[in-house]
Amino acid sequence: MLGDLASLKLQFADERDKLNRIQGPFLIAIVLFALVNWTMLIMASLYASYTLSCWQEAGLVFISVGVYVAVGITLEIIARIKFRSVSNELENIRRTRGLS
């Protein structure tokens, strides 16, 4: 059982490292979108009398909220997929040892 758990720990560490490499581009994109959002807030303050069209409003809402939600959901799905094998292996260890 200890050998199985040690093997599982190594598999977990490997998947965690892979996930960390995948997250890098997402984090860079979030910083870039935050800069765009910040710039848009400055522009809104400077030109407060300007009336936005429906499409401009939708774009602002997407950049200020939608991007972050989409990236968060995407990273959650990737993490669940990556760690599915680790979770399945842990369940197999529990089942074979009668720990479930």
- The per-residue pLDDT of the chain, averaged, comes to 87
> pLDDT value at position 100?
57
Domains in the chain, number: 1
| Residues 6+ away with beta carbon under 8 Å from 69 | none
Cβ atoms of 76 and 26 closer than 8 Å: no
How many residues are recorded in the chain?
100
Query: Rounded to whole angstroms, how far apart are CA atoms 19 and 28?
Result: 15
**pTM above threshold 0.95:** no
pLDDT in tens, 4-27: 788 888 888 888 898 889 999 999
pLDDT in tens, 25-46: 999 999 999 999 899 889 888 9
Q: Which domain does 77 fall in, by range? A: 2-97
Written as six digits, the tokens of 90 are: 């842990």
